[in-house]
Structure 1
Amino acid sequence: MNPIHLMQRIRLGEDSTLELKQIHIKDAGKNLEPHPDGLSDELAAMGNANGGLMVFGVDDKTRAVTGIPAEHLDRVETWLTAICTDRIKPPLEIATHHLELPDASGQLQAVIVAEVPRSLWVHQSANGYFKRIGHAKREMQPDMLARLFQQRSQARIVRFEEQVVPKARFDDLDALLLRRFLKPDQGDVITQLARLHLIDNREGEALPTIAGVLLCTLDPTKWLRNAEILAVAHSGLRNDPNEQLDAQEIRGPLDRQILDAFHFVRRNMTTAARKPLGRVDYPQYHLGAVFEAIVNAVAHRDYSLHAQRIRLFMFADRLEIHSPGALPNTLSLESMSRLSVPRNEILASLFSRYYPVDEVGLGKSYLMDRRGFGVEMLLRESEKLSGKLPKYESISDLELCLTIYAQSLPVLENP
């Protein structure tokens, strides 16, 4: 905790990861302000977002260091810990630091800096569920709250894929699509499908789950309107309708979407060739990397975002795949190539066991590799071909964009 750096941040004012709080001590230290309920909302909002620092002993309006009397430091810290433990559920774990910062006259004043981590949990505070957006807290609406629960580890208690789909019935599942999951010696049909979380039979009626609708219906968009891929190919470098070469709305069960999207890229990418001593092809993209990127987008996207779909854009110099949802909790852009943390565990498991790949030359036995080396291969082979490392970008915690750069095609001589 560098005081000089902290003072620089304080002078610039509050932002999404910095909150300033002046402490008022009343009745000989018996009562403290701000009010514990409001403070619990601020702390939980920060933990529900990306974490940050809350500095006690600084006026948030003037940014002046007002300090905390040394004899009350322990009292303030005990009060703060009690708020995090008693008024926030589950309790919010913070780290506190006692520092001295200069006030306007240059005198050092004691402050307490509470370091709030980006929590593994979703926290409810005194007045509800809040998330820090910009420099203020915002109460989370039901759809935002549902997404946050799904993103974080509480989603492991009730996984989104296991939820029953409203208005979907067992008869909506396609018999041919179900056949791949059924084995003659593993019990009756309902038992086997329930074991794989494709249906929910706990209430005595076999009802399709989200995973069941995505994998075993001919058109999942009848129930989950976002479960599709929009693919567009352009001749130029930007998203210009006048330069559009091809477009397709790709629907169907997820494995069909993956293959149709892959064939869309292969159909629209340029492959130059030379024939000096035999034909030599120069494809724009490594097909194995493209296939892996599409599989990852379909398997790991956030299906709770009902208004967003996967978007695939081809340009003259790059391929972009936009996948709805932030990275799964505990995963970062830096750790993606080394860790495998699936958002949709059921889909990932079934893709790695029940969906063999028939496409020649992809070097894959199943849609997903249980070893988790897919992203590493994607990055390595794409960089080897184009000379540029693919780029992952997280956009406002709502979308993950992967850009794969095209190989520069050689200038071919006229025959």
Structure 2
Amino acid sequence: MFDNPADLIEKIRLGEDSYLELKEVRFAGNRVTAPHRHSLADELAAFANSRGGVCVLGVDDSREVLGIALDRLNAVEDLVREVCLSVITPPLAPVIERQRLPSSTGEMVAILKVDVPRSLFVHKSPGGYLHRVGSAKREMTPDYLARLFQQRSQVRIIRFDEQPIPGAVLDDLSLELWQRFASPRGKDRREVLLEKLAMARPDTDGAVRPTIAGVLMASPNPRRWLPNAFIQAVSYRGTEVRPWGDRVYQLDAQDITGPLDQQVLAACRFVNKNMRVEASKKEGRHDSPQFDLTAVFEALVNAVAHRDYSIHGAKIRLRLFADRLELYSPGAIPNTMTVDSLPYRQAARNEAITSLLAKCTVPEGDRPFSDRSAMMDKRGEGVQIILDNSERLSGQRPFYQLVDESELLLVIPAASLLGEEA
């Protein structure tokens, strides 16, 4: 917003409004005394809860450009970053830019421009749940707040994965990644096709923008908009998360990113690389792995397809131990399902994502992970495959567990191997 310096200067001359906040910066020694961190947090959160806006640090309420000393820019930027991460819930990730603007004497001085986009979430700051009304911030009334939660995530009048992402544009989606969902005979324009696939949707400003599903399936780096849309994979030595004698207790670790289908395949490769395999020469060579890779594939597909992407700060966690595999997926079980009913019932939290995964092909080189051509089977047989295949290999039944009503844990016991460490 106000990306051209001339536009920003003109906006400052006009004064504060729904999209602009001006803040003088003062110091006592090396400490920033103004703006106060709570006041700054309230202003930034109010922008995020509204339609976005820009806070300019180094300009006072009378619209005079005072500037910030060059040797103190780092301290001011540190304050903004700390406020966004520690004082606002969930945290904000604004664009912080250093610029030079002319002061009243014509001298070019440094200012800090903090660009806050309209957020996917509803943010709370020390002043409560605030929004921008003209040049002032106001606490939201209960009915307004309820409507905002409905619009942005929790109640899902519009499913969360079909919500447009503020600030994202269609060019942020990779041509190669979104074209794989197009029909060979289709002649739809990009915008029309992406809307049909729920990968794009008109925003409140009328612009067609990528949706959550769009960036998760067709962006090379979904974490740009959803920082926790990745799989954290760790392989441990032994059966507990603790140091193992004098040896390193983490054998391997990887943050797996990219489009969701690529995350699934990369996580399968991680398990394949780190699990142990026993070779038997009875009746010819026969390899016996610790885990059934088809079951692992199904578990990972379910995790990326059904996790709750609206929970800030939560990621999929894959933990590989000597005696088991643990897979944590953010979010409670959708609708009226229970842990016991998972093998028998279907309920999609993210219908756009599941539909797109069903259209994704499994590359020939990754077919050892699955004998079907598509990433997802809409018949709902995945959980039963996980349970049956794993039990057939290890002799122990995997189990699901709901943790704190906010995270679904799947535990797959490892098959015992001859000669393994105690």
TM-score normalized with structure 2 length? 0.60
- Cα distance, 1:357 vs structure 2: 4.7
CA distance in 2, matches of 1:194, 1:310: 28
- Cα distance, 1:306 vs structure 2: 1.5
CA distance in 1, matches of 2:388, 2:256: 28
CA pair 357-344 structure 1, distance change in 2 beyond 3 A: farther
Amino acid in structure 2 at the alignment position of 1:341: A
In structure 2, the partner of 1:199 is 200
Question: Aligned match of 1:261 in 262, 267, 279?
Answer: 267
Q: Secondary structure at the match of 2:388?
A: helix
CA distance in 2, matches of 1:388, 1:309: 27
CA distance in 2, matches of 1:404, 1:148: 38
Q: Secondary structure at the match of 1:360?
A: helix
In structure 1, the partner of 2:214 is 212
In structure 2, the partner of 1:270 is 276
Deviations 1:297-335 (A, max 9, x none): 111000001211000000000000000000001111111
CA distance in 2, matches of 1:338, 1:253: 29
CA distance in 2, matches of 1:259, 1:307: 23
In structure 1, the partner of 2:399 is 391
Q: Say if 2:325 is the partner of 1:319.
A: yes
Among the aligned pairs, what percent are the same residue? 45
2:325 touches 2:411 (CA, 8 Å); kept in 1?
Answer: yes
CA distance in 2, matches of 1:290, 1:276: 27
In structure 2, the partner of 1:23 is none
In structure 1, the partner of 2:229 is 227
1:340 touches 1:372 (CA, 8 Å); kept in 2?
Answer: yes
2:151 touches 2:158 (CA, 8 Å); kept in 1?
Answer: no
Residues 370-409 of structure 1: pairs in structure 2 closer than 5 A: 370-409=378-417
Deviations 1:106-164 (A, max 9, x none): xxxxxxxxxxxxxxxxxxxxxxxxxxxxxxxxx9xx79x9599967xx53x31111111
1:231 touches 1:261 (CA, 8 Å); kept in 2?
Answer: yes
CA distance in 1, matches of 2:151, 2:237: 38
In structure 1, the partner of 2:178 is 178
1:327 touches 1:400 (CA, 8 Å); kept in 2?
Answer: yes
In structure 1, the partner of 2:367 is 360
Amino acid in structure 1 at the alignment position of 2:292: H
2:201 touches 2:209 (CA, 8 Å); kept in 1?
Answer: yes
Q: Secondary structure at the match of 2:367?
A: coil
CA pair 167-309 structure 1, distance change in 2 beyond 3 A: same
Amino acid in structure 2 at the alignment position of 1:408: S
In structure 2, the partner of 1:66 is none
CA distance in 1, matches of 2:405, 2:166: 27
Residues 127-166 of structure 1: pairs in structure 2 closer than 5 A: 146=149, 155=156, 157-166=157-166
Where does the alignment leave 5 or more consecutive residues of structure 2 unmatched? 1-141
Aligned length: 269
Larger Rg: 1 or 2? 1
CA distance in 1, matches of 2:215, 2:279: 43
Q: Secondary structure at the match of 1:378?
A: helix
Q: Say if 2:293 is the partner of 1:287.
A: yes
In structure 1, the partner of 2:25 is none
Amino acid in structure 2 at the alignment position of 1:182: A
In structure 2, the partner of 1:331 is 337
1:328 touches 1:341 (CA, 8 Å); kept in 2?
Answer: yes
Deviations 1:350-405 (A, max 9, x none): 11123345322322221111111110111011011111110101011110000000
Q: Secondary structure at the match of 2:314?
A: coil
CA RMSD of aligned residues (A): 2.4
CA pair 390-149 structure 1, distance change in 2 beyond 3 A: farther
